Each structure stands twice: as C-alpha cells, then as structure tokens.
Structure 1
Amino acid sequence: MFMDAPSALDDEDDLIFVSSTSMGSRLNQLMPEKAMDAHVALEQFKSEFMSRYHGGPDFLPLSLKDATVKAFGSDARKRKLLAIYIHHDQSIQANVFCSQLLCSDAVTNFLEQHFVSWAWDVTSAYNKERFLQDCKQILGSGVADTVRKVKKDNYPLLLIAHGRGRQCEVNAIIQANSDLNELMAKLVNAYEESEERKQQEIREEDARIARENIKLEQEEAYRMSLEADRAKVEAELLEARRIEELEEQRRIEETKKEEDMERLRSSIPDEPSPDCKEPLSKVRFRAPDGTTFMRTFLASEKLQTLVNFVGSKGYTPQTHRVLKPWPKTNLLTLDMSSSLQSNKIFPQETLIIEENPDQDSDTCSES
C-alpha cells in the first residue's frame, strides 16, 4: 500500500530515450544508456549528480536488493527507511527538484540521519525497464505499474519504503510538484509513522529474543544435565571397574598368598612327637590381633624353619616381623641358618608377630 501515487499517466512511448535534449547536450549523463553493471552505473550516477548539483543525498552504489538489505536487514533498532530517488533528465522539473529540494541542507541532513538513500535514472528506455523489473520483484507489481505510468514531466519521484527483513512496502510516492515544506513534511510524517512501527517491532523482537534466550537456557540446562548424568554414569562405571580390578587383584594376591603358605607348610618338618628324646623348643606366638598359637620345634632346627612356619600362617617376612622380647630382637635380621638353641629360643619362648612398618626392609630370603 502506498500514498501520493501520481494521477497523471503517460501511455506514450515513455520508454523512448531522446539523447539530444537541451539538458542532455549540456550535461554528462547521470547513468550509461544501458546500465549493464548496476554498481558501475550507480557510482557514475552518484559522481555526476554531486558534480551537477554540488551536493545531495549519499546514494548507495548498490543494487536495489542490496539497498533494501542495508535498510531493513538488521535488528529493529538499527533499521532505517529507504528513500528511492527516480530521476528523468528530460523532465522539466528535474533541475529545480534536485537543486532546490533534494539538495537542500534540511532534506539532505534528514535523509542522512533517518534513511538509506538509493537512486536510479530512468531517462533511457533500457534503464527504466531494468528498474521496473527490479521494482516489481522487490517493491511489488503495484508500485512498478504506478511508476511505469508516471508522465515524464512528473519526474523526479521519491519513493519512501519501510521494511523488515525481506519484507518491503512503499508507503509514499512523492512527486516533483512538491515544494520544500511539503517534501519535508512528508519525510517527517513517514519517519514518525516508521518510528511507531519500529517501537512495536522492537517490543516484538525483544520478546522473541527473550523467548529464544529462555529456550537456549533451557536447552543448555538440559544439555548440562545430560552431560552430568553421562559423567555420573561414566564415573560409576569407572568406579565399578576399579572395584572389580581391585577385587581381581585381591583374589590374585590371596591365591598367591595361599600358594605361598601351602609351599611353606610343605617345607616345614613335622612337629616332634611328645616322646621325642631330642632337645625341644616350645614357642608361643602372639599374633597382631592378640590371639596366640603354639608350636614345638627341635632345638636344632634352623631359624628359617621357624620363619617359614610363621609365614605358613599368613605372616610373611614381606608383611610382618617376628620379635624376641628380651633382648628385643627382630629375628628376621639374624642368620637364618643358625639354630633355635643358638639364638636362645630354647627350651621355650614367646615371640611377638607385628606388622612390618617398612615392608621394603628387614626382609630375608627363604632358604
């Protein structure tokens, strides 16, 4: 929908370009007759316009599509209106409109502050048709049909469009028969209406962003919860694996310990009978848990036999030491080939079994 649409229509050959007008003979063309490259053509338009009128809006040297993106493609707070200036060099009003209205400080400054400005020259049939095709695609067929029907002397036109993202709508078409006050009034009115829409769009955009942020926070919390659950499961699996490995290690160690104890038991001579006539050593052992057990040995037995006997009970030299109370002696530090009698473990003795405070020391090799 747009306002101020022109009432004067031209069914004649507005598409026919006459290059030999009085204006055309005095001035350089604002745009090549066939603008094949929009960027090059618009750079020429901007340069020639500034040279001809010594000022004017800062026209973007971009395609119309890119100009709409520049104006409407950002968030609501940064959007601007789009001012589309359509020039016709054969119009009797072109020079007055440009020099006295469009290039006035008030209009130029207002456009610079609140609008993205873009321009095109429809003097040649080729360039007009190209603009109309772009206009139909971007601004709609209604705007394109209206511009197509504008008479030559009703140019220049100033189209005011607002938009949001890819949506674009022309809400005013200002013709050349306006004076400066009318032009400024229409620009200000378009701006004020745009600001009302912008504030509503800002509220909608802020609400949308807030919803998206809440959704992102929820998704992040859910992701972190999943990661925490996954980490917990992994930790539980690792702990279960660790416990299983410890159990397996304990079983291996227990099995080895049992095998060692069995080997030590098989290496120990049988206990002497009560009616044995040889000298005997009766030894009481006090275990770390306070329990006691006794064993009788031949007094001539080697100290190694006594140590092996203690080891067969599970108190190996690697984990425990055997102490003689008086004088306090660690039997594991003595000569294992010496006899019990020579070490005064005779005829009877109480020995104390303690956990070895340092399993790397005070050990001896089995004979």
Structure 2
Amino acid sequence: MVDFGDKLACFQAITGVEDPDLCTEILAAHGWDLELAVSAFTASNPAPSLSNPNDNDNHSNNNHQNNVGSSHQSSFDDWEGVQESGFTRHESQPLSESPAAGSPPGFAWKIITLPFSVISGSLGLISGAVGLGVWIAGGVLSHSLGLLGWNSGREGGASSPMVSLSAAASEALNFVAAFERDYGTNHPNFVSEGFMDALQRSRQAFKLLFVYLHSPDHPDTPSFCEQSLCSEVVTSFLNENFVSWGGNIRASEGFKMSNSLKASRFPFCAVVMSASNQRIALLQQIEGMISPEEMLTILQRVAEESAPVLVTARLDAEERRNNMRLREEQDAAYRAALEADQARERQRKEEQERLEREAAEGERKRKEEEEAQERAAREAAEREAVLARRRQEKAMSLGVEPEKGPNVTQVLVRFPNGERKERRFHNIATIQSVYDYVDSLDCLNSEKYSLVSNFPRVVYSPENRSLSLKDAGLHPQASLFVEVVDS
C-alpha cells in the first residue's frame, strides 16, 4: 500500500515547504506522483536560490540572473580524475558587480580564493551543504521509490530505480529528437548520451559543458529556443567552444539535474566543468528569458575566464602523457637491454646446440644420401629391366612385318627428339598395334604419350585404339606424331 506520509515527507524535504496541508494539496492535485508534483512546483513556484537571499529582488526585477559558482577545491590539477559526484555551489554574483575594488579578478583567482569567503560566510556553507544534500537526496529518493514500487514511468510501465547508462542515453536521444521536431535542426550539438558521459566527453576535449534543462510547459520556452538558444551566433559559439548536453525536466535524468542545479526559473542554462576530488564546478547559471546577444556575452566571458584553467589542464595532461610515455620508453629500453642479454645467452646455447645438431644431421644426411643413391640405382636398374622386358613383349606381340601389298598400311612415326621410325601393318591391324610398335622401340622414355595425326589433327586416345587402321582412315599410309602427355 502506498505510504502517503513518506511521500509527504520527501516532498517537504525537496521543496522546503513546511506547511503539511499545502504539500498534501499539491501532491493530491498531481495524483500523489512525487516527481511530477516536485517538477510542477519548481516550475510554477521558483524555490529560493542557493545564492544570497537578498538577491531575490534581482529575480523579480530582471528577466534573468547570471550566477557564477566555482568548486570548493583550491585547484583543478586533477581535471582528468573526476567521476560522478555532487555539485559544489557558492554565493552567486551578478555580472555587473565586482568582487573587489579595482579591476575584476580573473577566473583562476575565484577558484583559489572563493573557498575562503565561503568558509567565513554562513550562506556559502549552507549553499554547499544544501546543494550536496539535494544531489544525494535525489539518488536516495529515486532508489527508495523504486524499492517501494512508486517510481512508475509516465507511460504506465515500470522504470528502473536508478538511471542506467542505456536509459540516460535513451533519454538524451529522445530529447534531441523532440527538440529537432519542435525547433528544427539548427541548434547546439547536444550529445546523445547521459550527463556524466557528456561531462566525461567535455573533460577529454578540455572544454566546458553547457547544460540546457528544457521545460516544455513553460511559456517562455518556445521564444527562448527559437530566438536565443537556436540563433546562429549562439549555436556556432557553443558548437565551437563547448560540449552541449540537454535534458527534459519531465525525464528522469533531466529532473534530477534540475534538482541538483537548483533550477528555480526557466528557461534554464548552466555551464559546468569537472573539478578535482570527484566534484563538479558550477561556473554559470542563466535563468529566465534572455536575448541572444546577452547570452553570447555571458558565454564568451565564461569561456575567457575558464581558458587559463582549461589550458593548464591540457598542458598538465600532455605533461602526464609525456611523462608516462617517457617512463614507458625507459621501461621498454630496460626490458630491451634485459632481453638482449637473455637473447645473447640463449644464442650462445642455441649455437652450441646447433653445432651439435648440425654434426648429427650431417652424419644422418650422409647416410641417407648413400642409401638414396643405392636405392635410386636399384630402382633405375629395375625400371630399365621392366622396360626392356616390356619392349621385348611388345615386339613379340607384333609378329613379323608384312610385305608390301594392297592390304598393307605403311605407318611413319615421328618422335619428339626428331627421330623417325617406319613399319608396315596389315590394314586390319588396330591402332593399338601401332602403340605396341612404339613401345617396342627404345626411342621414348615416357610411358604416357598419344599418337596424333596432323592433317586433319586426330588424337588416337585409348577409346579408339580398337579401330583398325583402315577404319581409322590411316590406310594405305599414315604419318603419326608422338606427343608426350604431362603427368
């Protein structure tokens, strides 16, 4: 059963509204859907900013307020070591104000000195604590609602209690598709991945991360997107100098980022960067309707102020890579020297073994050659004996050569070496008889050959050897060539 008391307590903890009756009415109006109630409350009733409470007058008198925040860390030396964590927020400062007399301090000065002013001022401490608390509360709330079965999706299906990488990327893809459907393709190049992956991308590219939280129900959203965010100058500057990420506050990750960044007014944009010790520095907030010229001015200022930090981070990363490459080269040189010594020792042993093997192999080969020669001589003698016996058998099978006459065929046989042999056959003798005649001669070393007539060319293959010379058209005389068949 749904515990309305827990939902009421969670809603009070997130929104800061102490009146339980008012909270109950808001939750009931949204069907006790906690995320929808919190999102609607933050969109229609801006919560107090984490900046100085006296700045509320600025919210009511201006269409937007630009808040500059920085990390609690004293340096950004660990730019590449950040992972998912909370946001660090500090006192906000309008662009028109100067932090001290004289020329405004640079971005690096704010990073180094701002923690001391936060330590000495209670508002800064409260802002940092509340910012971290909201981030943690968002994760705990999502996990708790998932365990209780309350965190059902807007479409009626159950959603995961914690946003996985694939779910975050899916939300990002859906946001980009919906944004292009409503405002066209001329917009900042929003990455189609989750916030932490986008932050990782910006860190690797040594760029700032531009965050846009989209409130589709806010009346100023269409004008802001069409006139400011999608203007050519703003889009070009963002695509060149920033990594851009966008999220719909109606989606899970966009809702969480809205709470973490304390988005009290919409349209809402922010510029963040990775800080050291797994923290994220909030550098700039842009809340409310703003012209493209004002937005470009703010983005240019933030980019200029952060340039020294990014350049330093890039140089540090290159130095680390160079040092790592140097260590790898030194290690490789040491390993190469060690391997060379080991290779020389192995080579000495292998050379000794090789000489021993060669001596044994030489003796073995000598014996094998002697045996091969003896075997070849024996086989040659056997082949010669077989051929001689065959020639004798073929000559005997031919019988006596007939005398010339009308029924006698004169056959001339030409061998590949140019030698010629001639014999008479009865015209009823078969072509096989001619083959037997060739076999009886000591003119051909190959056993595979064919008898061929030249004009017309006819190859007398084994299929037609049973034909008589007369039937084969070789009577009364014929000239045949011996063609050796390749084996």
Structure index of larger Rg: 1
If the length of structure 1 is used for normalisation, what is the TM-score? 0.48
If the length of structure 2 is used for normalisation, what is the TM-score? 0.37
Higher helix share: 2
